[in-house]
Each structure stands twice: as C-alpha cells, then as structure tokens.
A and B are shown apart, each in its own frame.
Chain A
Amino acid sequence: MPYRLLKFALARRHPEPRMFRTHARLKPSYDVVIIGGGGHGLAAAYYLARDHGITDVCVLEKGYLGGGNTARNTTIVRSNYLTPEGVRFYDESVRLWRDLSAEFDLNLFYSTRGHYTLAHTDASLRTMRWRAEVNRHLGVESRVVDVEELRRALPMMDLSAGGHAPVLGALYHAPGAVARHDAVAWGYGRGADLRGVEIHQQTEVVGIELEGGAVSAVLTTKGRIATRTVLCAVAGSTPRITRMVGLSTPITIQPLQAMVSEPLKPWLDPIIVSGSLHVYVSQSARGELVMGASLDPCELHSTRSTFDFTEGLASHMLDLFPFLSRVRVLRQWAGMADMTPDFAPIMGTTPVTGFYLDAGWGTWGFKATPVAGKTMAWTIAHGRDHELIRAFNLSRFTDFRLTGEKGAASVGH
C-alpha cells in the first residue's frame, strides 16, 4: 500500500468533506417536512431551495440516504411512453438528466445507450407503432425497426429466442440511458444541504397530526415537528403514510427483483427489453450485466429475493443470449414497488390541506427523479399542481380519468 494512502487511512482528520452535514437534533418546526430520503424526496428538497428559496426544510429518512428503491433499481432512463402526458413529463426528465453531472459537479455516469423494446407478437408491434407515433409527434426520438436492422445492430442476440418466441421487430429509442443511482441521491442531497436543507437519517415518521383537515405536525422517532406542509415521497411505504392522514389510494405493494452478473468485457452497448420474455438488461460501466424481470406475483411488504426469480430470469436471458451460459450471477436483491392500476404515478395536491403526494412510482420512477423533484417543488411553492403533473393527481381515480401507461411501463421500466 502506498505510504500516503496508509497515512490518510490512519489520520483522524480527512480532508475530503462529507457529502452533507449531520444534525444533532430536529428543530421544533420547519416550513416543509419531506418524508423519504430517496432520490425523489432529495430532489424535491433541492429544487425547493434552489428554485423557490424555500430552505427551512428537513428530509426525514428512516434508514440511510438512498437506501430504498433508489439504490435497488436498474437505472433505465427513457421517455418513449404511450400517453402524451407521460411522454411530455418523462421527456422533460431526460432533458434535466443530461445536465445533472455538471450541475452537481459529481459524475453520475449518465450514459446514453439507445433502448430496444423487442416485439414477439403482432399485438406488441401494434402498440410500438402507436408509441412511436405519439413520441415523434411530441419530438421524442422513437421508431419501429425491423428484424434486418436488429440483426445488424445486435449480432450477438438470438432473434428466434431459442426458437419459441421469434422477434418480429422492436421499438428503438435513441435517448435511452443508464446512470449511477447512488450518485443521484448524493448529488441532490449535497446540493440541498449546501442550500440549507437539513437531512436527518435514522429518523422514522410514525404519525401525522391534522387540524381541521390540514396538516399541523409530524411525529417521528426523534420527536415532534410542527409544520403545515408535508411531502410524502416514500415509494414502497406510501400506504403506511397515507393511512396516517386518512387518505385512501389505489396503491398496492409488490416486490420487484433484479440481479447482476460477474463483470464482463464490454459487449452490450444498448439497453434491451423484452416484455414477452420478461427480461431487461444493460451492461454497467463496471461490465456487470444488470438484469430484471417482471413483478413478483402477489402483494408483499418485504425485500427478500427468491431463487425462482433467478432461475426464471436466467433462462429467459439464455433464450436471447445463449453464449452467456457460463456467466455467473453475482448478486440479487428486491425493492418494494408502489403499483398503480394505470401504471402512472400519483403526484401533487391531495384532499388533505398541506399534504402532498409523490408516489405510485412502481417499477418506473428512477427516470423521473429530476422532473418529479422539480415539479413537486413548484407544486409545494405554489400550492397547486404544476401543469406537467396535472394528469397524475390522485383525483383521477374519483373522476374515472386514468392515464393509461400499461402498454409502455408494465415491463419496460
């Protein structure tokens, strides 16, 4: 070990500053309390401070920063959704993503790869043509490609999928990207902290007090906080928090699992998704194949992982890439996905005054981290929904006006 490194390790004082400050105790009140220190909660705190000058804000995290679904996701970023509302929203997110590394002065390893969604049936080809039309209409690069083009672009893939699910074409989305998930949480956390926001880890919200239908205080494992404004950004724990304010929602929790292989030399540049085979895969900057499948088949509030998942996903991976048969799986894990019936998020104001919701992110919310933070901050600052998120308000389930994204979000992430 180089001498300098040894000296650095043994020294008590480390010149490298921490990413954010720690605070001995909570203040008795804050203007805004954000529940959940994942990417979404931290991004909202960042934009509240940066864009709206609202800095008397605390972010409460029951575990450690970014340890929820932010740290568990497969980091696919794209905007080729199905509804105009969805496409506009996610497209704005992709725009924000591109500048984030420079803005944070922190390398997010944001890497534009191109994204193929494979079609194995006529029905899925039809949905892809529909998506491509909607996307292009809104200025998002997206087109249907045929098998010949796929063969040229992906010579290492078995287009017959082992002979039992031949690929008929694909939706190609050039802006499709991956990023380093932890860095996103840290970047937003540091940026918020520098602007005066307090981040409290190991602080769990256990209750919310209401007064005349409006939020008046938040109860935590570290004491009571008086506040009139709460943002709930807890993904897989959303129903537990909405119950505290007596709000019912369509959200149910189902685990989503993922796994990575041992590192390989770079061979897979784009992101590949197959809805029929329940596979999506990309190769990380470290060379690992990052792979996921569909949701676990029933409600469960747990992050256990299963052998069934590894076995099923590995077999579908081998349908597409038979040469991987000797590659080993390195790690697997699960997150709790907060699912909605129309595969769109639930965002914005709620019937409870001062209680804002940023939830229903299911299997697709990582890509939305920047735009969700930005629009939720605007919504809190103005007390009404930002125009990009109007179609996502909880009220759509009382008005029977859903925002159907199933055709673009159910396996694709």
Chain B
Amino acid sequence: MKLLRCPVNGLRPISEFVWGGEVRDMPDPDAVSDAEWAHYVFDRSGVPAVKREWWYHVPSGVWFIAERDTVADRVLRTYPYGGDA
C-alpha cells in the first residue's frame, strides 16, 4: 500500500498518513462492569480481517475511516466519519 485516498484531499502518498487503529464503540462507562470497561480499554481484535479503521491525514488534519484488508494490505474504501462510502 503506497497511496491512500483521503476523502477530502484525494489520493496522497501513504507517508502523509497515520494509522489510528480499529473503529470501536465506547460503552457507557457508568453502565458497564469494571471487567467490561477493561475489555474495552485494552482488548483488541488481533485476528486478520477486513477492518474499519481510523486514519489521519497529517498535513491537512483530517481524520476519516478506511476499510482495509489486514492480510493483503488493500484498502477497499475510505469515507468521512459519520458518512458513507
């Protein structure tokens, strides 16, 4: 993977981007047990898959979502957070 399409700036070299990890939903801290909260804070899905991930375009300060195959390192699509492809 050498290029990535930022939804705002278009196709840019991968060196301009920072990976932000998989998109995860935060549970309500007041509603979950300590163990469930610890699970949210630390545990990750480490298995290979197509994952929804946070990516950051550094020069323009844009956070967005990429769907990426973590075995082939292929990005299937990118879109703004809250938006759709």
Residues facing B in A387-413 (CB within 8 A) are 397-400
**Are A298 and B19 closer than 8 Å at their CB atoms?**
yes
Given A239-B45, A252-B44, CB of A301 within 8 Å of CB of B71? yes
Assess A248 versus B39: contact at CB under 8 Å? Given A239-B46, A240-B47, A253-B46: yes
Interface size range of chain B in the complex: 20 to 34
Chain B neighbourhood of A308, CB < 8 A: 15
Most B CB atoms within 10 A — which of A243, A297, A301, A308?
A301
A398 and B46 contacting across the interface, CB-CB below 8 Å: no
Residues of B within 8 A of A338 (CB): 46
Interface of A is mostly: loop
Which range holds the interface residue count of chain A? Answer: 20 to 34
- Assess whether A63 is interfacial by the CB under 8 Å rule: no
The verdict on A262 contacting chain B, using a C-beta distance below 8 Å, is no
A-B interface contact total, Cβ < 8 Å: 56
Instruction: For B43, give its contact among A250, A253, A300, A302 (CB under 8 Å).
Output: A250
The verdict on A299 contacting chain B, using a C-beta distance below 8 Å, is: yes
> Which chain B residues lie closer than 8 Å to A301 at the CB level?
48, 70-71
Contacts of B71 in A (CB 8 A): 300-302
Q: Choose one: A251, A302, A398; the contact of B35 (CB below 8 Å).
A: A398
CB-CB nearest in chain B for A249: B43
Give chain B nearest CB distance to A146 CB in angstroms: 36
Q: Determine which residue in B22, B38, B44 has the highest number of CB atoms from chain A within 10 A of its CB, and name it.
A: B44
Known: A299-B70, A302-B71. A250 touches B42 (CB 8 A): yes
The answer on a CB contact under 8 Å between B18 and A398 is no
> 0/1 per residue, B43-56, Cβ < 8 Å to A?
11111100101000
Residue among B35, B42, B45 with the highest chain A CB neighbour number at 10 A:
B42
Bound-state CA distance A292–B21 (Å) is 24
Chain A positions within 8 Å of B46 at CB level: 238-239, 242, 249, 251-253, 299, 338
Known: A239-B45, A297-B19. A397 touches B38 (CB 8 A): yes
List the interface of chain B (C-beta within 8 A of A). 15, 18-19, 21-22, 34-35, 38-39, 42-48, 51, 53, 70-73
Supply 11 A–B pairs (Cβ within 8 Å), ascending by A: A238-B46, A239-B46, A240-B48, A242-B46, A249-B46, A298-B53, A300-B70, A300-B73, A301-B48, A302-B73, A397-B42
